[in-house]
Structure 1
Amino acid sequence: MEDNYIIQNALNIIDNRITEGITPQELAKECGYSTFHFSRLFSRATRITLMAYVTRRKLQYALYDVSCGEKIIDIAVKYGFETHAGFTKAFKKCFGYPPSLYRIHAICSRPTRMELTELISIILGGNIVYPEIVEMKPFIAVGFTSRHKMPNVRFTHDIPLYWETINLAHVDNLTRLHNAFSKSRHCEVTVCFDINPLTSEFTYLLGVGVDNPEDLSRIKPDMYKMKMAGGLYAKFTTPLVESSKHTQNVRDTWKNIFDNWLPASVYKFDEKRYDFEYYDERDHSWENNGMAQMDIYIPIQKR
């Protein structure tokens, strides 16, 4: 119990000094131990090395700053990383994806005090929802694109609301797409791509899957055709919920992917391919007794 108290005190010190340069020697001294003994005590109690935890914790605080739209270079300096590239490399190594991806897809709250029991649960994977790992064939998505700049649109799920403010009739667009490609399997695909981390700009595609050769001949000049690469994906299916909770359900799933699954996974995000949201008849709450669900596909590769 005394060891747990000492480790909890160290966790509190790290949080209180999160933007400072924290060394093993300083932490050990404040806890009344030699550096060697304290480092062993910390690793045994938490299943992670002391400085690996310090770096991870700094990056967890940085996640919040990323989601708030702060510039990556400013965040890097704030938490003691010498360069933009150094911060991004550490971020990818820790979480398995680049900072710009989190900014678009997930909402992050400011970290609360880390409890030792919570840390052990995280390290052991207690908070993780696991996906289905699938091998996908390439497919074609056709739709309409719009260019956005955060923070006007900070997250994928903000975009339909944003469209209303600029009078883009996305419902009419979907109707037009489904009518044009009626021989293809009914599904909708949304993709964020062409992300500029320096200007916070990105392109958003709202489209449908087109798998019928005859339908491909019906693509109009004002439509955007995107070839979605095949390969290994992590497929996250959101829990089946009432339609009123569906949007929050999607948000929570994105957050779980970035906060819990990817950082602990043997996989990392494959930046050569795009993640996407996939909607089919399961999303039609009016046909499913008011219930809805969808899939999120994350392109992955071994770390």
Structure 2
Amino acid sequence: MKASTREDYVRLVYKVVFYIEQNADKELSLEELAKVAGFSKYHFHRIFKAVTGENIGDFIARVRLVYSAWKLKTEPKITNVALSCGFETNASFSKAFKNRFGMSPRAYATMLKAKKGVVMLKPTIVEFKPLSVFYVRKTGAYETSSCEAWNVLMAFAYEQRMKFRKNIMGKETMHFGIGHDNPSLVEQNLLRYDACITCEDESIELKSEVFKKVLEGGKCAVFLHKGAYENLKATYAQIMDWVVAEGIGLRDAPLFEKYLNRDPRRTKPENLRTEIYVPIA
């Protein structure tokens, strides 16, 4: 397969991936998804698996179940969670959840409540304004997928700046990362990470694995993580303790990170600063 043809397939399949993530609570037919990608429905599911390594039905089910685990942190009625995640009955939801995570939704919700403890972190509440970003999606363990995503995005940005003289990667540029999945619930090879940079230059053309989207605005609780990225997991655990202990309502949007150091590679780990944004209702 020609490199240019494969790039076209990757771009169109990931267009569907993002569509599924935004509409996981709705009924999604093969015909509808094939239409989003512009493929024939007779070939679409094979192309999807060739690009992602996962059957489209399995991907939809996984996204819905991970979303449901997130909802169970603050929604006490399991039936409401089931319906909001695209399941027709409580029974079908409970069976799928147990098959995926090894426990029932009720047992998982009970476990979350039992983890309430002393919350050391205190957030700042802000109104986040929507931002247009260029981004690259990579899948795999966050330690590697994040590096891979940033390597591709930075190569693209510096080529645009140095070769094509585009207005990108200036002092005003903001850097964000989005980890869509909980490593405690999702296999390492399936974790989804987006590396994102802001840029207002509309003349820049997308290339290969680089896409463009808008980070949604809205009310957020912002936590400051100080130190190495390897220790982010502990900070996220404290954040979830805060969500559960305070009974905070969460919006249907992923958490995201804003990296405050201009060049993390030249910054000592103990001096790294990361803001973690939690979309709240």
TM-score normalized by structure 1?
0.47
- Aligned ranges 1:73-152 → 2 under 5 Å: 73-74=98-99, 78=103, 81=104, 84=105, 86=106, 90=109, 94=113, 122=117, 126-148=118-140
2:194 matched to which residue of 1?
A: 205
2:63 matched to which residue of 1?
A: none
Partners of 2:133 and 2:198 within 8 A in 1: yes
2:239 matched to which residue of 1?
A: 257
Q: Secondary structure at the match of 1:216?
A: coil
Aligned with residue 225 of structure 2, among 216, 223, 238: 238
2:280 matched to which residue of 1?
A: 300
Aligned with residue 229 of structure 2, among 244, 247, 252: 247
Q: Secondary structure at the match of 2:239?
A: helix
The verdict on how the C-alpha distance between 1:281 and 1:143 changes in structure 2, with shifts beyond 3 A counting, is same
> 1:72 Cα shift?
3.8
The verdict on how the C-alpha distance between 1:147 and 1:158 changes in structure 2, with shifts beyond 3 A counting, is closer
Do structure 1's residue 229 and structure 2's residue 216 form an aligned pair?
A: yes
Question: Given residue 130 of structure 2, which amino acid in structure 1 is its aligned partner?
Answer: P
Question: Given residue 252 of structure 1, which amino acid in structure 2 is its aligned partner?
Answer: A
Distance (whole Å) between structure 2 residues aligned to residue 217 and residue 92 of structure 1:
50
Q: Secondary structure at the match of 2:179?
A: strand
1:216 matched to which residue of 2?
A: 202
2:73 matched to which residue of 1?
A: none
Superposed CA offset, 1:1-40 (max 9, x none): xxxxxxxxxxxxxxxxxxxxxxxxxxxxxxxxxxxxxxxx
Superposed CA offset, 1:41-76 (max 9, x none): xxxxxxxxxxxxxx9xxxxxxxxxxxxxxx841477
Question: Given residue 218 of structure 1, which amino acid in structure 2 is its aligned partner?
Answer: I
Aligned-residue CA RMSD in angstroms? 3.9
Superposed CA offset, 1:116-137 (max 9, x none): xxx8xx2xxx333111111111
The runs of 5 or more residues in structure 2 that have no matched partner are: 1-75, 77-95
TM-score normalized by structure 2?
0.50
Question: Given residue 257 of structure 2, which amino acid in structure 1 is its aligned partner?
Answer: E
Distance (whole Å) between structure 2 residues aligned to residue 257 and residue 94 of structure 1:
14
> 1:255 Cα shift?
1.8
The verdict on how the C-alpha distance between 1:198 and 1:144 changes in structure 2, with shifts beyond 3 A counting, is closer
The runs of 5 or more residues in structure 1 that have no matched partner are: 1-54, 56-70, 96-110, 112-118
Equivalent pairs counted in the alignment come to: 176
The verdict on how the C-alpha distance between 1:300 and 1:173 changes in structure 2, with shifts beyond 3 A counting, is same
> 1:225 Cα shift?
1.0
Distance (whole Å) between structure 2 residues aligned to residue 198 and residue 172 of structure 1:
24
State, as a whole percentage, how many aligned pairs show the same letter.
17
> 1:208 Cα shift?
0.7
Q: Secondary structure at the match of 1:217?
A: coil
Distance (whole Å) between structure 1 residues aligned to residue 111 and residue 131 of structure 2:
28
Q: Secondary structure at the match of 1:73?
A: helix
2:177 matched to which residue of 1?
A: 190
Distance (whole Å) between structure 2 residues aligned to residue 176 and residue 251 of structure 1:
29
Larger Rg: 1
1:47 matched to which residue of 2?
A: none
1:25 matched to which residue of 2?
A: none
